[in-house]
Every structure is written in structure tokens, then in C-alpha cells.
Amino acid sequence: MDDRELIRLAYQARASAHAPYSGFRVGAALLTNSGKVYTGCNIENASYGASNCAERTAFFKAVSEGEREFQAIAVVGGKEEITESCPPCGICRQVMMEFCNPDTFYILFEGKGKIICKYLLRELLPEGFGAGNLAR
């Protein structure tokens, strides 16, 4: 699975976004270590706080199916039909921290001119709090 293909699957997932309040439609594609892909879209709610981001939709689908090992996630989003740069929000980065190795898990999103920005979770969540911090 190359980077561009994972981005394409994120675009496909974005088609299902439920974003009538913000108009900001997001899609995500999450790649497991075994090569399987789980997709997700943002799902907003009239009670705004009940909304869920595309990345967490993808993670929760995968985790609820028993998946625990992940290599990368691609995220695309933007208002209505346009796509802009869509780096994952802080809450989603924290969810990634729960299930991914920050030194090997990649986050992909498009930057200006549709170039693919690719970072390790460690770079986007430095000094992240995880299960290891609770161990003693």
C-alpha cells in the first residue's frame, strides 16, 4: 500500500461524512500491520459535543474488530467539496498514542499543492502521555 493509495481511500471515506453543522468534511484511512485498511468519516451531532472525528471513527471501527497493530493513517478534509490541509486534532493524536508506537506510526495528510505531508506520531505528539506513564 503506497501513500497515495491510502490518501485515495481517505477521500473515498470522506464521501460519507456527516457534517451538516461545520460543513467541514473529513475522511480517514487507517492501515494495519497486516495490510488491512479501516476507513472513517467525521460524524457530527446537533448536540455538537457528541460529534466524532474521522480518525477516531476509523480507529474505533478497527479496535472493535480486534485490530491492535497499526502502521499509518491518512487524513483528508475541508469545507464542502474543497480539501484543505487536515492534520489530526489533539484528541485524535491522543487516541493514536493509545494504540500505536509513536516511533513507527505514520500520519499522512495533504499540504499545499496536494503534496503529501508525512510525520511520525512522535513528531506530532512529542512527549505524549501513554500507558507507559501509568506503569511503575
Distance CA 10, CA 31 (A): 11
Mark residues 44-73: x for contact with ligand THU by CB under 6 A, - for none. x------x-xxx------------------
Nearer to ligand THU by C-beta: 112 or 136? 112
Categorise residue 65: left if φ over 0, alpha if ψ from -120 to 50, beta otherwise.
Answer: alpha
Long-range contacts of 101-105 (CB under 8 A, 24+ apart): 102/128, 102/130, 104/71, 105/70, 105/71, 105/72, 105/73
Helices 54-64 and 3-14 pack at an angle, to 10 degrees, of 100
Nearer to ligand THU by C-beta: 37 or 44? 44
- Smallest distance from the beta carbon of 57 to ligand THU, in angstroms? 8
- Smallest distance from the beta carbon of 16 to ligand THU, in angstroms? 12
DSSP alpha helices (H): ranges in 15-120? 54-64, 90-99
Residue 24 within binding range of ligand THU, rule CB under 6 A: yes
- Smallest distance from the beta carbon of 59 to ligand THU, in angstroms? 12
Distance CA 70, CA 33 (A): 5
Residue 29 within binding range of ligand THU, rule CB under 6 A: no
According to CB under 6 A, which residues from 114 to 133 bind ligand THU? Answer: none
Contacts with ligand THU by CB under 6 A lie at 19, 22, 24, 26, 42, 44, 51, 53-55, 75, 77, 86, 88-89, 92
